[in-house]
């Protein structure tokens, strides 16, 4: 791609042209060589959006909540970008991405851009793609960017935790509320939402959350707030949105926002590096014919030495390239 084509793409993104946004995200996701230049070019136009992570276990109603939050944001005349991440099948590498089913009527709103993503599974690849998609949406001047990810606790899929505001969704009846709390999930959230609050058991989840927070060691950041909602019935969403906005304002004043942005930048750099390293090494290690495994089994090298060898090779290549 010529430099001018990338420039044209950047200006298309800044003009909020859906086709261009979509194409740019694909380039990043597919790790096309030009995507690095694109991201460089986009960087000056980023940082203006409020990035909200929404995470929680499967079945917690995250997509419905995302849909409702988006609608309320639209009522407040905010433009919205959504990145919805679903797991890729480890067997086929394919994915069934169904988050849009909850957001069908948002598809035609020009101020809403929704993108589904599979986790795909390469080390650092997903994080790189999601950070990239956020950049594209920021450059398109979306007021709010919602990043919805499945699963809790796994750093690879847990990009939500480095958002400006992190919403963790709980739900009664899945039996994993206590599990999640044990796993320290309360610590990553700024807002803990009990969704499906109309179901029996909701108040129990809330009280378990409260007592967990009371027992938690003090932290620098303000303690998470607990909210309840029923996304399906559109109850409590307006209030949740108020809390989200309030968090962002407080975070800006207290310097927390700066801290989060730094964490995100650090995570992004780490992801880029990790991806770069793994792309070099994966190729070598997946090739059964170059004899590394034979050398290992014969006791000629240890895994540590082999890693060292690959590292030097990598540095050599990098300095040549």
Q: Which residues bind other proteins (CB under 8 A)?
A: 18-19, 21-23, 25-26, 30-33, 59, 64, 88-89, 91-98, 100-102, 104-105, 107-108, 113-116, 118, 120, 122, 125, 232, 279
Question: How many angstroms separate the Cα of 138 from the Cα of each of 66, 145, 175?
Answer: 18, 8, 37
Nearer CB in complex with other proteins: 80/256: 80
Nearer CB in complex with other proteins: 106/306: 106
| Whole-angstrom Cα Rg for the chain | 21
CA atoms of 55 and 59, how far apart (whole Å): 11
Q: Supply the minimum distance, in Å, between the C-beta of residue 263 and other proteins.
A: 27
Q: Supply the minimum distance, in Å, between the C-beta of residue 50 and other proteins.
A: 20
CA atoms of 30 and 170, how far apart (whole Å): 33
Q: Supply the minimum distance, in Å, between the C-beta of residue 302 and other proteins.
A: 30
Q: Rounded to an integer, what is the distance from CA 165 to the centroid of its chain? A: 12
Q: Supply the minimum distance, in Å, between the C-beta of residue 183 and other proteins.
A: 23
Q: Supply the minimum distance, in Å, between the C-beta of residue 244 and other proteins.
A: 23
Q: Supply the minimum distance, in Å, between the C-beta of residue 161 and other proteins.
A: 24
Q: Supply the minimum distance, in Å, between the C-beta of residue 173 and other proteins.
A: 9
Nearer CB in complex with other proteins: 164/176: 176
- Beta strands (DSSP E) in 155-279 are 165-170, 191-194, 225-228
Nearer CB in complex with other proteins: 144/188: 144
Nearer CB in complex with other proteins: 12/153: 12
Nearer CB in complex with other proteins: 129/166: 129
Q: Supply the minimum distance, in Å, between the C-beta of residue 294 and other proteins.
A: 27
CA atoms of 112 and 135, how far apart (whole Å): 15
CA atoms of 182 and 208, how far apart (whole Å): 11
Kindly give the pairing relationship between strand 50-56 and strand 165-170: parallel
How would you class 234 by CB atoms within 10 Å of its CB: exposed for 0-12, middle for 13-18, buried for 19 or more? middle
Nearer CB in complex with other proteins: 171/193: 171
How would you class 1 by CB atoms within 10 Å of its CB: exposed for 0-12, middle for 13-18, buried for 19 or more? middle
**Residue 247 β-bridge partners:** none
- Contact present, 152 and 56 (Cβ < 8 Å): yes
Nearer CB in complex with other proteins: 8/259: 8
CA atoms of 132 and 129, how far apart (whole Å): 5
């Amino acid at each position: 791609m010529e430099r001018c084509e990338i420039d044209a793409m950047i200006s298309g993104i800044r003009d909020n042209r859906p086709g261009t946004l979509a194409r740019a995200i694909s380039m990043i996701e597919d790790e096309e060589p030009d995507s690095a230049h694109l991201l460089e070019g986009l960087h000056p136009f980023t940082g203006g959006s409020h990035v909200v992570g929404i995470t929680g276990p499967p079945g917690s109603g995250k997509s419905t909540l995302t849909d409702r939050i988006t609608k309320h944001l639209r009522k407040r005349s905010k433009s919205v970008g959504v990145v919805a991440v679903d797991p890729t099948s480890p067997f086929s590498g394919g994915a069934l991405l169904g988050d849009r089913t909850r957001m069908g009527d948002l598809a035609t709103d020009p101020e809403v851009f929704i993108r589904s993503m599979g986790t795909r599974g390469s080390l650092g690849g997903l994080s790189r793609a999601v950070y990239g998609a956020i950049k594209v949406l920021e450059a398109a001047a979306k007021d709010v960017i919602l990043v919805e990810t499945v699963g809790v606790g796994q750093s690879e899929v847990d990009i939500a935790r480095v958002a400006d505001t992190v919403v963790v969704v709980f739900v009664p009846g899945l039996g994993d509320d206590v599990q999640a709390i044990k796993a320290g999930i309360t610590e990553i959230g700024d807002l803990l939402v009990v969704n499906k609050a109309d179901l029996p058991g909701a108040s129990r989840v809330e009280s378990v959350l409260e007592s967990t927070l009371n027992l938690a060691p003090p932290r620098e950041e303000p303690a998470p707030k607990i909210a309840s909602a029923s996304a399906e019935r559109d109850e409590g969403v307006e209030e949740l949105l108020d809390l989200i906005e309030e968090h962002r304002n407080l975070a800006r004043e207290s310097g927390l926002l700066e801290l989060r942005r730094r964490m995100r930048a650090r995570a992004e750099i780490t992801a880029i590096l990790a991806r770069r390293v793994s792309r070099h090494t994966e190729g070598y290690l997946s090739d059964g014919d170059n004899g590394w495994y034979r050398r290992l089994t014969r006791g000629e090298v240890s895994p540590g030495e082999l890693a060292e060898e690959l590292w030097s090779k990598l540095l050599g290549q990098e300095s040549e390239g």
